[in-house]
Chain A
Amino acid sequence: MSDIRFETPATAEAAVALLAGATGTAKLLAGGTDLLIQMRGGMVEPALLVSVKNIAEMNMIATHAGEFRIGASMSCMALIENADFVAAWPGVIDAVKLIGSVQVKGRASVGGNVCNASPAADSVPALIAAGARAVIAGPDGRRELAVEQLGIGPGRNALARGEIVTSFILPRRPARSGDAYLRFTPRTEMDIAVVGVGVNITLDERGVCCAARVGLGAVAERALLVPEAAAALVGTAVDDAALARLAGAASAACRPIDDKRGTKAFRIKVAGVLARRAAEIAKQRALEAS
């Protein structure tokens, strides 16, 4: 009965090389809040763990020309404590705050939340709505991928063997933009989302929505970008009629399952309800932002 090999590379390229070159199951260890549970449950039995907590670019946050670059393995708490990011992307922060308890957020990372590819992951709908891109390092170099393309199925992501997400880039925020994330859980905290909705909108000077993105989580085999829902808002003042169309489009986009956390019918209905409520918050934030 052999133990698991444990490495702590200092660069992303070194981590890539370890993962790509491994014989047997190799897993990236960031916060460990998903991986350790999977190991305990016997769902994964790695021969090699590659900890990325020492890789500087993956554990820092930087801004440049209005863009934010978030290290994929920085802890959620560290991200929440970044006042500039909180001011710019309150909806993404809404989502990150819900990833788990304070203890879990002290270790968990957005990169892990996205790449673990639970369809219910909280950060994903908000990042999708934000138009975030993942920066991926791999054996063949670096590439970028929109977050909505990263999850492909329950527990499956689009990364090739040896690839890791090093950071997420959030685009520059136009004026009069606001985002929000809401989820439904039976308790106020500590639950996996039964439905998660991220809405990001930009208003023009007249208060008319000129751009929108809507992300939905926990209602399909992966988190969804829902263009039809966004289209319901664009060109409107985000009034009740537009919100009703938004809700309808969000519900229509769902292809959920019955599981121990919610029924199909419940998810479809509540997706519409939360889309409407999130859009109202996003609109309010857009109006308050200059």
Chain B
Amino acid sequence: MAKHHVTTTINGNPVEYLCETRQTLLEVLRDELDMTGTKEGCGTGDCGACSVTLDGRLVCSCLVLGVEAAGKAVGTIEGMAEGGGLHVLQRKFLEHAALQCGICTPGFLVAARSLLEANPDPSEEEVRYWLAGNLCRCTGYQKIIEAVLDAAREMREA
């Protein structure tokens, strides 16, 4: 069977790729497109390290097939920094030391940006519950939460 020829948009850029039905969007991003910023932590939607947005919706790319991205807009960590500068969230993660090993960081950043788009003024509890789908084993989450709340504050003031 021939592979699917998928035309999509990734981080605002038109992209085409070939994939088999069984390949997930995560596998396509990493193995076909060399976009290794999105990470595999579990492959079963339990850890959030593979988080991307699909038509603006936060999803696990390990639970989306590559062929399902056809005609949609995919957003990955590689598209988060804007025009040579870091996104506020990226900056705050660095300032607050919200990463230790950093493997979960791309997933958290994509998820946190999605949160602040939906809710620009979340409480600590709301942040913790929204981010429950992203596992971190290094930080105990505390500095991640602080970074997100600080970024939200700065974005509201802008």
Question: Which of B1, B48, B51, B129 is the one whose CB lies under 8 Å from A5?
Answer: B1
Q: Which of A89-111 contact B (CB under 8 A)?
A: 100-104, 106-107
Given contacts A32-B65, A106-B57, contact A37 B45 (CB under 8 A): yes
Question: Which of B51, B62, B133 is the one whose CB lies under 8 Å from A100?
Answer: B133
Question: Which of B62, B67, B133 is the one whose CB lies under 8 Å from A189?
Answer: B133
A76 nearest CB across to chain B (Å)? 11
Instruction: Answer yes or no: B31 CB below 8 A from chain A CBs.
Output: no
Given contacts A32-B63, A101-B45, contact A2 B57 (CB under 8 A): no
For this complex, into which size category does the number of interface residues on chain A fall?
A: 20 to 34
Instruction: Answer yes or no: A190 CB below 8 A from chain B CBs.
Output: yes
B42 nearest CB across to chain A (Å)? 10
- Decide: B129 and A39 in contact? CB cutoff 8 A: no
Question: Which of A39, A77, A102 is the one whose CB lies under 8 Å from B22?
Answer: A39
A51–B67 Cα distance when bound, in Å, is: 10
Query: Which residue of the partner chain B has the closest CB to A51?
Result: B68
- Decide: B48 and A189 in contact? CB cutoff 8 A: no
- Decide: B21 and A36 in contact? CB cutoff 8 A: no
B122 nearest CB across to chain A (Å)? 12
For this complex, into which size category does the number of interface residues on chain B fall?
A: 20 to 34
Q: Is the interface of B mostly helix, strand, loop or mixed?
A: mixed
Instruction: Answer yes or no: A236 CB below 8 A from chain B CBs.
Output: no
- Decide: A36 and B24 in contact? CB cutoff 8 A: yes
A6–B65 Cα distance when bound, in Å, is: 10
A80 nearest CB across to chain B (Å)? 11
Instruction: Answer yes or no: B60 CB below 8 A from chain A CBs.
Output: yes
Task: List chain B residues, Cβ under 8 A from A62.
Answer: none
- Decide: B1 and A3 in contact? CB cutoff 8 A: yes
Q: Which of A52-80 contact B (CB under 8 A)?
A: 53, 75, 77
Given contacts A3-B21, A4-B21, A190-B133, contact A37 B54 (CB under 8 A): no
A49–B154 Cα distance when bound, in Å, is: 45
Instruction: Answer yes or no: B4 CB below 8 A from chain A CBs.
Output: yes
- Decide: B60 and A3 in contact? CB cutoff 8 A: no
A100–B47 Cα distance when bound, in Å, is: 11
Instruction: Answer yes or no: B37 CB below 8 A from chain A CBs.
Output: no
Instruction: Answer yes or no: B114 CB below 8 A from chain A CBs.
Output: yes
Q: Can you list 25 A-B contacts (CB < 8 A)?
A: A2-B1, A3-B3, A4-B20, A5-B21, A6-B65, A32-B68, A36-B24, A36-B62, A37-B44, A37-B45, A40-B44, A49-B21, A49-B65, A51-B68, A53-B68, A100-B133, A101-B48, A102-B111, A102-B114, A102-B132, A103-B60, A104-B45, A104-B63, A107-B54, A189-B129
Residues of B within 8 A of A (CB): 1, 3-4, 20-22, 24, 43-46, 48, 51, 54, 57-60, 62-65, 67-68, 111, 114-115, 129-130, 132-134
Known: A101-B60, A103-B60. 15 other contacts (CB 8 A): A33-B60, A36-B62, A36-B63, A37-B44, A37-B45, A49-B65, A53-B68, A101-B45, A102-B133, A103-B58, A104-B133, A106-B54, A107-B59, A188-B132, A190-B133
